[in-house]
Amino acid sequence: MTPLDPAQVFWRKSSRSGANDSNCVEVADFSDALAVRDSKDPGGPALRFDRDAWSSFVVGLRHGLRG
């Protein structure tokens, strides 16, 4: 998997982050993956998930499953 270059990625604020909340998550879409990062640390690490892994994660959240 190719490392993310934050300067080459379009990040958007997650729809689940509050308008004035300092706890914001930013999301970047790729053709085969999704990446998330902490908006307070834009130069910090980003997590990249393939689409199947992300879908499973979201389904688990919606159903209250915990690891």
The reported pLDDT for the residue numbered 16 is: 67
The reported pLDDT for the residue numbered 24 is: 84
Nearest to 35 by CA among 52, 18, 17, 11: 11
Q: Render each residue's pLDDT in the chain as its tens digit; 67 residues.
A: 566 665 678 888 877 666 666 678 888 988 889 999 888 888 889 899 999 998 998 898 888 866 5
The reported pLDDT for the residue numbered 63 is: 85
- Taking the domains of the chain in order of start, what are their residue ranges? 7-62
Measure the CA–CA gap between 11 and 39, rounded to whole angstroms. 9
The reported pLDDT for the residue numbered 3 is: 62
15 Rama sector, left if φ>0, alpha if ψ -120 to 50, beta otherwise? alpha
